[in-house]
Amino acid sequence: MASGSASRSLFRRDLIGPAIGDSFRKLDPRLLIRNPVMFTTAVVAALLTVLLIAGQGVGGIGFNVQLVFWLWLTVLFGNFAEALAEGRGKAQAASLRSTKAELVAKRLRGKSEDHETLPASSLKRGDLVLVETGDLIPADGEVVEGVASVNEAAITGESAPVIREAGGDRSAVTAGTRVISDRITVRVTQEPGAGFLDRMIALVEGAERKKTPNEIALTVLLVGLTIIFLVAVATIPGFAAYSGDSVPVALLAALLVALIPTTIAALLSAIGIAGMDRLVRFNVLAKSGRAVEAAGDVDVLLLDKTGTVTVGDRHAVAFRPLKGVTVEQLAEAAHRASLADETPEGRSIVKLAREGHAIAAETLNDDAEIIPFSAQTRISGVRSGGLLIEKGAVDAIVKACAASGTPAAAELRRITDEIARSGGTPLAVAQGGALLGVVHLKDILKAGIRERFAELRRMGIRTVMITGDNPLTAAAIAAEAGVDDFLAEATPEDKLALIRKEQSEGRLVAMCGDGTNDAPALAQADVGVAMNTGTQAAREAGNMVDLDSDPTKLIEVVGIGKQLLMTRGSLTTFSIANDVAKYFAIIPAIFAIFYPKLGLLNIMGLASQQSAVLSAIIFNAVIIPLLVPLALKGVAYRPIGADRLLLRNLCLYGLGGLIAPFIGIKLIDLAVSALGLA
């Protein structure tokens, strides 16, 4: 399951064969009844078949056989569309299943290294298992001991290994992924049969597919239309009886099937499955179809600054010494403090010091004590030769220095404010307890992010940037990136409160997150995308999981949700608009029997009554497979605002739906009469 482009064909040859087989299997009335419109079509086809066998057909055996044939084909085409959409998922599910079947676990007994080997399916929540190099991880869980690189290609399709380690936000591991170095102890967090792999199998297979609220509403509309047209057709014999005439059942049946919205009904479930599939191929797993639809409705996107708005790393751009300190002194101190700091930030300080201020390259002495960064102190540094150099968050450093003298508070504030106002982050540097100055770290905006936000605005979506930065920095970055709003110095509680507030004002909120403390917000959001690298709690709380852990994807997910609904709406419009031409093909054919002059309504000039009816029915059938690619690929979504979007789709699918069948039926009629079929 490589992360493929959306254009990759769903019409894979190896999927078509099984889909054809499934089309016949789906003729089972118990399955057909789920789609009332197609069920009606099947009932009509069955009725005509019975009449044909009983010799009650009107207008020649050849005509009736063809009519019955095309009616059944209409049903089969509908089944085929659904089967084809399900096909991909089934193939994928089969390979996931085989992965699952071969999972074995080494369950630890007590505290010792002593373990027993057993099938993964008998693991329970809370069990501790040992996973060594080359082993597949037997169940979803959390690393409680050790660090390992894990190949998650089986789930994400990404073959580059990722690090999984105990503690922190990278502790979650997924069943079916392979440890390729080191060994870890994992605590099982899933119930048997309810793991990520199981969910994924169910999802891609479509077994869990429940109709979404919008699908239900659309089905109601289609059923309503079917009933209305059933009334319209079933009353025709009464009208005809007035003048003492009767209308052949076959013609009425043909009219009914032509009028009821078979096209959209046939493609409806394929559209839904394809929408989920598009997400899967995009490496996002939605836990329900409802979540995908909700994505299309999103009004507010909460985006974490880091990784979404800006590239994760900040770069040092300037050294700002306090009065009485030279730039070189500051640069040298900062350089030394960062030598052991392998983060991109640390490396950028080293680079700036060497290239911008000609600080000589040096290495730390062996006796140097490295003080690693911790979230508690928010300070890192090095103690070398008795001299302590520290760098870190300004307030943390100020606090650390407070013991050994009062730093120049006013000047410091001036510098840090200046940096913040330009969207930078100040990093204070102190040497021996004395504050030297500040390193100006600058956030690098992601390329093209401004355009993306402008696009979102045109889609009617407001973006809110969430950041731990102070308000000044946040405001500057927000302005530069073009987000609509920001939440600075955000705590998880702030996030949750913001989501609740937006929701109470009637907006749908989407967000992504990875940490355990994101879980409440992820659960509260209408669309919560959890990063796959995140904690198990986060993955449980969200209604989507992004296997690539790319927060920017939220934007595409919204697009996919919109595309799903648009495809439904456009094909519904197309299907209903088709009815006008079908009326003009079949009504003259029926009524010309007793009012010959009504032949004037035959504005397409169709060859004969039988040919007209047959052509309309053939068009009605073949339009289904012709539209399958569109249903699977989806109608192109463009962020041009609702009004222009409606105009565009109305012209394309409304007007197109009005005109296309006139042309199509006429062409089929020419062929039918040329071949002497009717």
Partner 1 sequence: MFDALLLATLIIGGTALLSLPLARYMARAMDPQGFVRPTRWFEHIGGAAARGDQGWQGYLFALLGFNAAMFLVVFAILAGQQWLPFNPDAKGALDPAMVFNTSASFVTNTNLQHYSGEVSLSYFSQLGGLMWLQFVSAASGIAALVALARGLAGRPFGNFFVDVQRSAFLVLLPLAIIVALLLVAGGVPMTFAGAVHATTLEGAVQTIARGPVAAFVGIKQLGTNGGGFFGPNSTHPLENPGFWTNALSMAAIIIVPMACVWMFGRIIGRPKHARLIFAVMLGFLVLKTAGALWFEQAPTRAFDSLPIAQNVGNLEGKELRFGAAGGPIWAVLTTSTSNGSVGAMHDSLNPLTGLMPMIGMWLNATFGGVGVGMINMFLYILVAVFVAGMMVGRTPEYLGHRVEGREVKLAIMALAAHAFFILVGTAVFAATSWGAGTVGNAGPHGFSEILYEFSSAAANNGSGFEGLGDATVPWNIATGITMLAMRFIPVILPIAIVGSFAAKRRAAESAGTLGVENGTFAVMLVITILIFGALTFFPAAAIGPVAEHVTYMR
Gyration radius of the chain over CA positions: 33
CB burial of residue 367 (10 Å; 0-12, 13-18, 19+): exposed
Per the residue annotation, which of 127, 135, 304, 469 is the catalytic one? 304
Q: What angle do CA 286, 288, 294 make, to 5 degrees?
A: 85
417 is in an annotated binding site: no
Sheet holding 162-165, edge to edge: 162-165, 147-151, 178-181
Q: Are 189 and 125 in contact (CB under 8 A)?
A: yes
Q: Which is nearer to partner 1, 551 or 657 (CB)?
A: 657
* 299 noted as active-site residue: no
Among 128, 548, 486, smallest CA distance to 310 is for 486
Residue nearer to partner 1 on the CB measure, 147 or 592: 592
- What are the residues whose beta carbons fall under 8 Å from the beta carbon of 139, sequence distance 6 or more? 103, 105, 120, 123, 127, 129, 175, 186, 188, 189, 190, 195
Q: Where are the alpha helices (DSSP H) in 527-605?
A: 536-541, 553-591
Q: How far apart are CA 301 and CA 446, in angstroms?
A: 17
b/e burial code for range 539-567 (CB count within 10 A of at least 16 → b): bbbbbbbbbbbbbbbbbbbbbbbbbbbbb
Axis-axis angle for helices 262-281, 553-591 (nearest 10): 170
Least Cβ distance, residue 593 to partner 1 (angstroms): 11
User: Closest approach of Cβ 278 to partner 1, in Å?
Assistant: 14
Name the residue with tokens 């600080």: 359
Nearest alpha-carbon partner for 218 in 567, 530, 629: 567
Collapsing DSSP to helix, strand or coil, 143 comes out as strand
| Dihedral sign of CA atoms 20, 22, 26, 31 in order | negative
* 299 annotated as a binding-site residue: no
Q: Is 190 labeled as ligand-binding? A: no
Question: How many other C-beta atoms lie within 10 A of the C-beta of residue 74?
Answer: 27
Q: Does residue 514 have a known ligand-binding role?
A: yes
* 467 carries a ligand binding annotation: no
Beta bridge partners of 544: 286, 529
CB nearer to partner 1: give 83 or 301. Answer: 301
Q: How far is the CB of 294 from partner 1 (least distance, A)?
A: 8
Minimum CB separation from partner 1 for residue 651, in Å? 9
The smaller minimum CB distance to partner 1, of residues 252 and 537, is found at: 252
Q: Which is nearer to partner 1, 188 or 233 (CB)?
A: 233
In 3D space, the residue among 153, 112, 104 whose CA is nearest the CA of residue 132 turns out to be 104
Establish whether 391 is an annotated binding residue. Answer: yes
Q: Would the annotation count 493 as a binding residue?
A: no
552 labeled binding residue: no
* Residues contacting 677, CB < 8 A, separation 6+: 62, 66, 611, 614
Beta carbon of residue 580, minimum distance to partner 1 (angstroms, whole number): 7
| 666 touches 604 (CB < 8 A) | yes
Q: Does 174 carry a binding-site annotation?
A: no
What is the largest distance, in Å, between two alpha-carbon atoms of the chain?
114
Q: Shortest approach of partner 1 to residue 605 CB, angstroms? A: 16
- The residue among 65 and 598 lying less far from partner 1, judged by its C-beta, is 598
CB of residue 556 to partner 1, shortest distance in Å: 13
Q: Which is nearer to partner 1, 560 or 628 (CB)?
A: 560
Q: How far is the CB of 559 from partner 1 (least distance, A)?
A: 8
What single-letter DSSP state applies at residue 195?
S
* 490 marked as part of a ligand binding site: no
Annotated binding residues for ATP: 341, 345, 373-380, 391
Annotated binding residues for Mg(2+): 514, 518
Residue numbers annotated as active site: 304
